Amino acid sequence: MRTPRVIVIGAGVGGLVAALLLAARGLNVTVIERADAPGGKMRQVEAGGVRLDAGPTVFTMRWAFDEIFDEAGAVLSDHVRLHRAQRLARHAWREGERLDLFADVGQSADAIGAFAGRAEAEGFRRFCARARSIYETLRDSFILASRPSPVHLVRHAGIGGLPNLARISPFATMWDELGKYFHDPRLRQLFGRYATYCGSSPFAAPATLMLVAHVEMDGVWRLEGGMHGLAQALAGLAQARGATFLYGRHVEQIRTDSGRVTGVSLVDGETIDADAVIMNGDVAALRAGLFGDASRDALGGAPRAQPSLSAITLAMRARATGFPLVHHNVFFSQDYRAEFDDIFKHGRLPAAPTVYVCAQDRGDDDAARDDERLFALINAPAGQHARDMSQEELRQCEETIFQRLAACGLQIGAATATRTTPADFARLFPATGGAIYGQASHGWMASFTRPGARTRLPGLYLAGGSVHPGPGVPMAAISGRLAAHCLMADMGSMRQSRLAAIAGGTSTR
């Protein structure tokens, strides 16, 4: 029998993982990517003659990648050099008002005690236990399951597991629930920020997302060569397992015949046949009909949800003084509710944003450098609000960012910066409106409305941050693995049914 041919549209982490696992199983895999390098959002840009990460910077859930490399017959640490961070992040509110979180919970509790008092440290310990229990309840039943529904969760939990399921608090907002653990508003803000890892507001996201805090406390790693190095490693290994990569090529249509995927056609006019296609772009592109009518209908009548956060980012080569930066740093706004109201209710840039800064040349230490690679990010609205900004708007926005940093003591001098705005993200990732985490996780049903790997169109599969289990590098990687597994399972049963048809003389399809 001929080797099945699979096309993967997009070399984001979800597409790369799917391509790697299918190539490792001997399938004939071609990855078609419109950019000139792998990684998608995990991209690098140039600033002042150096290259630096301009996408994800926080690497968690290492186990997911250990498993994926293992499944592909390789060892993660042979392909990417990882260092476990002892200091997770440094948080600042004003000059001299700082709090570090550590890999060690006891060390973090001590730091919180010194910063906000013993009762808050006690609240933190209770919070950690709760975040862990939510994560443990959902790891197998939701994150790793192929497309779970609320009914599936209840079935998976069984009678004995129902109390745990109740404790994931899908109906309370994250912000309200955090109030049970923290009275100091700064700590509520710090732990509420984890909702933004899913592109959401802590005031609208379900308390279930407190599990993200556990994921981070479970381990953060720094990757030599940056996060983009992981994309290079996945692409390199997929190639070594036989996958072909076509860069700088844009897929225009997913072709079908008799209700089944038959391949793709590219903007340059070429058509490539395939038995199956995995789409790694945002599902918003399918919904918008960018790949043709047949694939638009593949999602069924799934509702159009609120887009997640976008961002304004500055990748810089600069000199930083006056504040002891570590690798990950957060400079909090004074009014968190106003920040998210600006973004999600009023569709405008926050007047006073929280600023994240990744000092990419630094590790756990905070020794100053003469000149270093810095990446700054503020949250911004997506969708219809992701329009091109005028030079004056951009100047004002950057001034606001630097003022927030200066209020905490950080001066950034003589920066050469490469900026990415929501409109740029919208151009880079078609049909997203600049939303970089798919749909927002607002309300208890949001996580169940993301499509799974299988679609209604036979031969079309989905992988990526807009698909179950959701955004973030490890989650998108898991979605790629789910897509590869679903495709293999379906091909297996298709072959079985063809064999049965041949043996019995009547088609079973």
Ligand X SMILES: Cc1cc2nc3c(=O)[nH]c(=O)nc-3n(C[C@H](O)[C@H](O)[C@H](O)COP(=O)(O)OP(=O)(O)OC[C@H]3O[C@@H](n4cnc5c(N)ncnc54)[C@H](O)[C@@H]3O)c2cc1C
- For residue 118, what is the DSSP state? H
Q: Of residues 7, 29, 45, 57, which one binds ligand X by CB under 6 A?
A: 57
SS3 87: strand
For ligand X, give the closer residue by CB, 250 or 345: 250
Q: Does residue 307 interact with ligand X by CB under 6 A?
A: no
The distance of closest approach from Cβ of residue 483 to ligand X in the complex, given in angstroms and rounded to an integer, is 10
Dist. CA 372–CA 50, nearest whole Å: 9
462 pairs with which residues across the strands?
279
Among 179, 347, 383, 430, binds ligand X (CB under 6 A): 430
Our finding on whether 353 is near ligand X (CB under 6 A) is no
Contact with ligand X (CB under 6 A): which of 336, 464, 481, 486? 464
Q: Which residues of 455-482 are buried (b: 16+ CB within 10 A; e: fewer)?
A: bebbbbbbbbbbbbbbbbbbbbbbbbbb
Binding-site member from 25, 34, 132, 373 for ligand X (CB under 6 A): 34
Amino acid at 218: D
Q: Exactly one of 44, 130, 472, 486 binds ligand X (CB under 6 A); which one? A: 472
Residue 10 sits in the site that holds ligand X (CB under 6 A)? yes
Q: What is the amino acid identity at position 22?
A: L
DSSP conformation letters of 206-271: BGGGGHHHHHHHT--EEETTHHHHHHHHHHHHHHHTT-EEEES--EEEEEEETTEEEEEEETTS-E
55 binds ligand X (CB under 6 A): yes
**Which string of x and - marks every residue 254-273 that binds ligand X (by CB under 6 A)?**
--------------------
Q: Does 11 participate in binding ligand X (rule CB under 6 A)?
A: yes
| Residue 441 engages ligand X in binding (rule: CB under 6 A) | no
**8 A C-beta contact, residue 481 and residue 71:** yes
Measure CA 46 to chain center. Answer: 22
Say whether residue 206 binds ligand X (CB under 6 A): no
Question: Could you give the string, one character per residue 369-388, with x where binding to ligand X holds by CB under 6 A and - elsewhere?
Answer: --------x-----------
- Count of positions on this chain that bind ligand X (CB under 6 A): 36
The reply on whether position 315 binds ligand X by CB under 6 A is no
Q: Per CB under 6 A, which region of 75-83, 168-176, 179-187, 468-476 contacts ligand X?
A: 468-476
Instruction: Give the binding range for ligand X (CB under 6 A) out of 86-94, 164-172, 277-285, 366-374.
Output: 277-285
Reading phi first (left if > 0) and then psi (alpha if -120 to 50, else beta), residue 450 is in: beta
Please provide the DSSP assignment of 318-343 as one string: EEEESS---SEEEE--S-HHHHHIII
Query: Would you say 169 or 420 has its CB closer to ligand X?
Result: 420
Residue closer to ligand X by CB (options 380, 408) is 380
Q: Say whether residue 250 binds ligand X (CB under 6 A).
A: yes
d(CA 194, CA 185): 15
Cis peptide before 56 (omega within 30 of 0): no
The verdict on 329 binding ligand X (CB under 6 A) reads no
Among the residue ranges 53-61, 155-163, 381-389, 399-407, the one whose residues contact ligand X (CB under 6 A): 53-61
What string of DSSP letters covers 59-80?
B--HHHHHHHHHHTT--HHHHS
Site for ligand X contains 179 (CB under 6 A): no
How far is it, in rounded angstroms, from Cα 32 to Cα 249? 6
**281/381 with CB nearer ligand X:** 281
Q: Using CA atoms of 274, 279, 281, 282 in order, give the dihedral in degrees to the nearest 10.
A: 150
Residue in 33, 100, 120, 372 binding ligand X, rule: CB under 6 A: 33
Which of 169, 465, 469, 484 contacts ligand X by CB under 6 A?
Answer: 465
Residues forming the site for ligand X (CB under 6 A)? 9-15, 32-35, 40-42, 55-58, 250-251, 280-281, 285, 311, 313, 377, 429-430, 436-437, 464-465, 471-473, 476
